[in-house]
Amino acid sequence: MKKVVKFGGSSLASAEQFSKVGDIIHADETRVYVVPSAPGKRDSNDTKVTDLLFKIYGLMKAGKPYMKVLEQIKLRYAQIIRGLGLKVSLAKEFDEIRKKLEKGAGEMYVISRGEYLNGKIMAAYLGYDFVDAANVIRFNDDETLDAEETYKLMKKHLDAHERAVIPGFYGSKKNGEVVTFSRGGSDITGSLVARAVKADIYENWTDVSGFMVADPRIVKGSQVIHTITYSELRELAYMGASVMHEDAIFPVSQVGIPINIRNTNEPEAEGTLIVERTSRISKYTITGIAGMKGFVSLSLEKDKMNTAVGFCRKALTAFEEYGISVEHMPSGIDTMSVIVRQKDFADKEQQVIARIEELCEPDHMDIESDIALIAVVGRGMKSTRGTAGRLFSALAHAHVNVKMIDQGSSELNIIIGVASVDFEEAIKAIYNIFVEARL
């Protein structure tokens, strides 16, 4: 049994948090590869180390003094080292960073140092080897990940270390230049390590006890999802629900390594297990609910549309020509609607409308904005009769008018469109019927 464990910034924000992490790792000797983020916020007024590093880079670029901010970062690490009673010194590392800054270091190098320094402390604290991510994560010249080379390098380097700490978030090009993933990218590092070392499980430790059935800002005290499949997660993530970086899914889902989302502050909670497939029946008919505001529906009407060959294609061409991605396309006999994201459509709407007029010559065109989409996702829906019936009667009872319905062909999800003002009510009503009432 071999586990790869990744800890997020809030799990490593202070010496107290570090020691919780230490306890978690020592409690299970199969937790052999550790991927840390940079120290995050200690409270809501605090600043993440990565954000301080961004600030340093901005000041350096503007030719302004940045040493004060660097001192602030030094102090944060010094507090962690002292709080843990460690003897390590980061003086040499800070000296090198300062020298590189004086020579005009690149942005990615600067912002990656939070993880690098935290990795040094973590390795010293655990007594694990330190493996610089720059030596095992390879980026192409265009800054995309070279996954094949990364797996090769990881295998080569990590085979030599029984237990190691590999800092998250960055890697390097062949010439040694540091490249980072996008924000939150330590999740990807963890996933790549898990795949390279053929881990049995990838534990992703954060500050929530798993993936919630519904957004806890809308449904107070929402239940945690116990087991979710990668495809369910993808559906929910697409609709805005997130607990981890979306690029972290693919490396492990491809080879069937499960991800376990765990809470550093509540280590006894089982968290959420994300798996390729499962025989575990979910507790409720639905697995999760997620949604987003900010959609526009453009409806077209044309007499005998059903016999007008190519009508849909022409309408979609107008969107394609302006680079707008179409989310949904519910249709009737003589009507069709195209649902797109408001932010993609707003600037180009007049051009798109003109193009549709020209290509499709509709009898009538109508635009409705401020639409919210809600995805109700669950592998259990396929085998449960009456799910849609219960869903819509719950919405009717909550006085929510449904503007659009779309059931994916996999029967994994039902997507509904409602007015943005009804968004929260609709989510609560769906949660209540399936989770609270367990219908």
Residues that bind ligand ASP (CB under 6 A): 9, 37-38, 48, 50, 114, 168-169, 183-186
Nearer to ligand ASP, 38 or 426 (CB): 38
Residue 183: CB minimum distance to ligand ASP, A? 4
Position with the least CB separation from ligand ASP:
186
Q: Do residues 285 and 322 lie in contact, with contact meaning Cβ atoms separated by under 8 Å?
A: no
Residue 364: CB minimum distance to ligand ASP, A? 48
Residue 175: CB minimum distance to ligand ASP, A? 23
Nearer to ligand ASP, 37 or 413 (CB): 37
Cα–Cα distance measured from residue 390 to residue 399, given in angstroms and rounded to the nearest whole number? 14
Nearer to ligand ASP, 112 or 287 (CB): 112
Nearer to ligand ASP, 168 or 291 (CB): 168
Residue 391: CB minimum distance to ligand ASP, A? 36
Residue 65: CB minimum distance to ligand ASP, A? 24
Nearer to ligand ASP, 185 or 417 (CB): 185
Quote the tokens at residue 224: 């945690």
Residue 168: CB minimum distance to ligand ASP, A? 5
Nearer to ligand ASP, 52 or 298 (CB): 52
User: First vs last Cα of the chain: how many Å apart?
Assistant: 39
Nearer to ligand ASP, 49 or 391 (CB): 49
Nearer to ligand ASP, 26 or 183 (CB): 183
Q: Do residues 230 and 259 lie in contact, with contact meaning Cβ atoms separated by under 8 Å?
A: no
Cα–Cα distance measured from residue 235 to residue 433, given in angstroms and rounded to the nearest whole number? 21
Residue 424: CB minimum distance to ligand ASP, A? 29
Q: What angle do CA 394, 292, 41 make, to 5 degrees?
A: 120
What is the 3 state secondary structure string of the chain? CCEEEEECHHHHCCHHHHHHHHHHHHCCCCEEEEEECCCCCCCCCCCCHHHHHHHHHHHHHCCCCCHHHHHHHHHHHHHHHHHCCCCCCCHHHHHHHHHHHHCCCCHHHHHHHHHHHHHHHHHHHHCCEECCHHHCCEECCCCCECHHHHHHHHHHHHCCCCCEECCCCEEEECCCCEEECCCCCHHHHHHHHHHHCCCCEEEEEECCCCCECCCCCCCCCCCECCEEEHHHHHHHHHCCCCCCCHHHHHHHHCCCCCEEEEECCCCCCCCEEEECCCCCCCCCCCCEEEEEEEEEEEEEECCCHHHCCCHHHHHHHHHHHCCCCEEECCECCCEEEEEEEHHHHHHHHHHHHHHHHHHHCCCEEEEEEEEEEEEEECHHHCCCCCHHHHHHHHHHHCCCCEEEEEECCCCCEEEEEEEHHHHHHHHHHHHHHHHHCCC
Residue 222: CB minimum distance to ligand ASP, A? 24
Residue 131: CB minimum distance to ligand ASP, A? 17
Nearer to ligand ASP, 41 or 163 (CB): 41
Residue 9: CB minimum distance to ligand ASP, A? 5
Residue 55: CB minimum distance to ligand ASP, A? 13
Compute how many other C-beta atoms are within 10 angstroms of the C-beta atom of residue 320: 12
Nearer to ligand ASP, 9 or 288 (CB): 9
Nearer to ligand ASP, 108 or 318 (CB): 108
